[in-house]
Amino acid sequence: MRKNSVFFLGALAGTCLTLLVSGPRSEFWINAAKAAAGSDTYAQLNLLGDVFERIRTDYVEKPDDGKLVEGAINGMVTSLDPHSRYMNEQSWRDMQETTQGEFGGLGIEVTMEDGLVKVVSPMDGTPAARAGIMSGDLITYIDGEAVQGLTLEQAVNKMKGPVHTSTKLKIERKNVDQPIDVSLEREIIQVKPVSFHTDGGDIGYIRVSSFNEQTEDGLKKAIADVSKEIPQDKLAGYVLDLRNNPGGLLDQAVDVSGTFLARGEVVSTRGRTPDETQRYTAKGGDITKGKKLVVLINGGSASASEIVAGALHDHKRATLIGTRSFGKGSVQTIIPLGTGNGALALTTARYFTPSGRSIQAQGITPDIEVLQDVPDELKGRSDTKGEASMRGHLSADGAEQTGSQAYVPPDEKNDKALAAAYDLLRGVTVKADMPPAPKTTVPN
């Protein structure tokens, strides 16, 4: 997500997605055509048709009509903002697989940087992790074909394939003179969005790494398991770790927030016109029974992660610790375009925290900023650029902020933000405006 949208291998992340389950609407196009009457839109559409025909008849080699049309659609959609995009049928299937939490691939979270595919992180227990692929590696060749010149989605699709088939990657690594050749066998990658453990017999640590269809259920199970391990009278509270979580489904962000809130608004989305405003509220009640909560965020916390952090902060339900979040404050609606035609991921709204604040290109500033000690070999590579640095991003409602530290130490004993969270929950350090345990209702 640093210089482009982050992908899990084979599918988009770093978005806040809603699903519009409908086919293409012919009346929409009819109305659009009527609206264009009296303008120069018809002339521009004629120009597009003229260029299309000229390419078909005069290009040095016979082009594929379908690829020409898809290229025209991609150019139109990507000119809007960094997060709107057209998905052909294969890409649409990939998106559905990822939001369901299981897909085939290598287990790498990647982004595009300077025309190359950059590894954000390998997923634990996957072919990429076992092969020793590291965060910051640059993938330069895939099966002998140069990555330079490919889009991120094209590169990702080349690394995907049937389970038990192999792919070869050529990797450049900082401070390593020669490129590294790696051969990996594809597997079914199961994205487990929630993991947990207890610490010191009095704190439950819960890590939410993405927002897919399994997140709410995984979170509730984690809370239930923590409650079994730690008696309520000894449970000091919970740490909810959203660092480097690139986002996902909007409804899951709402449900995760509602797991810690008795009631109240979680987020509102505002489209082009006032009548498109929607408000999403917490349901089900706080299943932690008001236990203290600390939320960890950093420069890699984006979209759905920022919705959760913003809601819990505005309701004074949690203290935020870490570094400023990414700042992606827009919602993409997935619009299926009919059988065989794929789908459109279109930015349709901005979202706002319960206090009415947009985080677009600004991010969320933690209550307590904690900077990590970054190893020398990663210095200069541990910060994200943020939404404000993305070309064509929606403008902020105020001063824009460009990224922050996103490094998380692999060993918990070196994790200063996590240590600060533990100390706060145990009362070792005291913050004057630490939210008290909520009453039976939360003011909205």
Among all residues, which ones are annotated catalytic? 303, 314, 328
Two structure tokens written together for 414: 């070196």
Q: How far apart are CA 438 and CA 282, in angstroms?
A: 14
DSSP notation for 292-344: EEEEEE-TT--THHHHHHHHHHHTT--EEEES------EEEEEEE-STTS-EE
Two structure tokens written together for 436: 């008290």
Contacts with 310 (C-beta within 8 Å, 6 or more apart), sequence order: 267, 353, 354, 357, 359, 364
The answer to whether residues 242 and 301 touch, using CB atoms and an 8 Å cutoff, is yes
- Output the 3-class SS for 1-59: CCCCCCEECCEECCCEEEECCCCCCHHHHHHHHHHHCCCCHHHHHHHHHHHHHHHHHHC
Backbone angles phi, psi at 443, to 5 degrees: -60, 140
Length of the chain measured in residues: 444
Q: What share of the chain is helix, strand, coil (3-state, %, to 5)?
A: 30, 25, 45
Q: Is 351 exposed, middle or buried (0-12, 13-18, 19+ CB in 10 A)?
A: buried
In DSSP terms, which residues pair with 146 in a beta bridge? 141
